[in-house]
Structure 1
């Protein structure tokens, strides 16, 4: 009788075989390359690891990469939500064009994006020539790096939040208004809790993309050591010097920090999903 019940609980046929192929694919694509990175970084030894972790140049590059990616992701959360809201809730001329332009950073090569932004915001650029007299320098500063990461990360937030907004029933807002809730209360108590998990997902995707971004950043960053040099550029420089152990060690440090932050975001997302489920019920 117990065997019959066990067989009945297996809704998907061939689950064991599918799970085996999934784990094999995951191992070949993700686990094995990451393990190779960790193993290769161990070849540098503890002294080499401490030297890298205490190097001012590397610490500055890591700080710049993570801080600009974090700021860009936060900016994208705000403006990505506003853009998704406008695309879902309003009709206006050129709406389909705007909706298509959101995906432009996905299709545009990152190097082209970097060159275009540098052309716009450099000292002699189309916009930079007007900002320079005002004391605003965008290109070759951390502001330019943040701008580039904002450009390439915006679609992740918009495309994550947009389906949730489309499925959000307007009757919930009407019911809140009928019960006497103000517009601010409706947004904070009804709409935002439902959108929060999607916003966290979009933030995590934009942040992860920004941390490892290379092509669109190197042109507008200026790559000045201790100032505008990003961590991925240091990895490329070490590889060009055939210092594979040093390059993989920097990559491992970035990987560990990114994994810890993304794990925290996933915990927040799970908490928000459970909270939303209780509210919805």
Structure 2
């Protein structure tokens, strides 16, 4: 192909290159330079991985994100299959309600968790009625887990519903006709068919949970997840180099999970906003 015919391709690539440089390469390069600009230099990364406070924050964030992802996938699988295969009055309204949290920022989600499990929340009022004590969980890792589940379900649910609608029901009917139980049909037919969608949406859920800040900020009482640690180092501790280092580590772990999910599922795992 002549260079003249290749010119439109180069022109179409130019906006992509500009956006990549402006919104990824340049900021990331600047962040790396800031991370090694402190007194410790590149050893800041070693301190971030060996200091008990930073390491515990990273591990707590990983465990919380994995638990959120697995729980969300289980809930979305059951609910998604039911909604995709059943038509009933009010179905559209129910789907809209389940996806409504997509419109909420993290701070609003945190406020909703407080209304549910805070000192003046529903669980506290219920506890006063039953045993005279206030049942609260909002200001703990449990409250953050509930909040993450709340805004993660819509992201996974829509993907699962779309995948279920594209499944070949004949495969399930064939398995049942051969004597397979419901459990075997689920394990051998349904889950393998939905595997790409589950992996892709699970990766998005994991990435969102790893970097979620608004909900943690609203519930920030004894919660030591990585986004809050980065915020504390940057604002209260004025340790900009460590904040940049932790940001890069957090981004790198999330990116590796997304890359692995994409290679395994072959699906688009671009995080939703």
Fold shared by both chains (TM-score > 0.5): yes
CA distance in 1, matches of 2:137, 2:251: 29
Establish whether residue 124 from structure 1 lines up as the match of residue 120 from structure 2: yes
Establish whether residue 38 from structure 1 lines up as the match of residue 37 from structure 2: no
1:80-229 → structure 2 map (5 Å cutoff): 80-130=76-126, 137-222=136-221, 224=222, 228-229=223-224
Q: Which has the higher contact order (CA 8 A, sep 6+)?
A: 1
CA 1:165–1:202: 2 relative to 1, 3 Å:
same
Cα offset for 1:13?
Answer: 9.9
Quote the residue 1:7 is aligned against: none
CA 1:171–1:153: 2 relative to 1, 3 Å:
same
Quote the residue 2:69 is aligned against: 73
> TM-score if structure 1 supplies the norm length?
0.82
Establish whether residue 51 from structure 1 lines up as the match of residue 47 from structure 2: yes
Quote the residue 1:230 is aligned against: 225
CA distance in 2, matches of 1:178, 1:67: 41
> Any gaps of 5 or more consecutive residues in structure 2?
268-273
CA 1:79–1:49: 2 relative to 1, 3 Å:
same
Quote the residue 2:270 is aligned against: none
Q: Are the aligned partners of 2:124 and 2:134 in contact in 1 as well (CA < 8 Å)?
A: no
**Which of the numbers 235, 240, 247 marks the counterpart of 1:240?**
235
Aligned residues: 261
CA distance in 1, matches of 2:142, 2:69: 14
1:244-259 → structure 2 map (5 Å cutoff): 244-259=240-255
Q: Are the aligned partners of 1:106 and 1:152 in contact in 2 as well (CA < 8 Å)?
A: yes
Quote the residue 1:277 is aligned against: none
Q: Are the aligned partners of 2:204 and 2:258 in contact in 1 as well (CA < 8 Å)?
A: no
Once the two structures are superposed, residues 222-241 of structure 1 have per-residue CA deviations (whole angstroms, 9 ceiling, x without a partner) of: 1x2xxx22211122222224
Once the two structures are superposed, residues 25-84 of structure 1 have per-residue CA deviations (whole angstroms, 9 ceiling, x without a partner) of: 223222322222122212120344333333222222222222111101110000011111
Q: Are the aligned partners of 2:117 and 2:135 in contact in 1 as well (CA < 8 Å)?
A: no
Once the two structures are superposed, residues 4-30 of structure 1 have per-residue CA deviations (whole angstroms, 9 ceiling, x without a partner) of: 9xxxxx9x9944432343233223222
Cα offset for 1:203?
Answer: 0.5
SS at match of 1:102: helix
Q: Are the aligned partners of 1:235 and 1:250 in contact in 2 as well (CA < 8 Å)?
A: yes
SS at match of 1:127: helix
> TM-score if structure 2 supplies the norm length?
0.84
Once the two structures are superposed, residues 165-197 of structure 1 have per-residue CA deviations (whole angstroms, 9 ceiling, x without a partner) of: 111132222233334433333222222111011
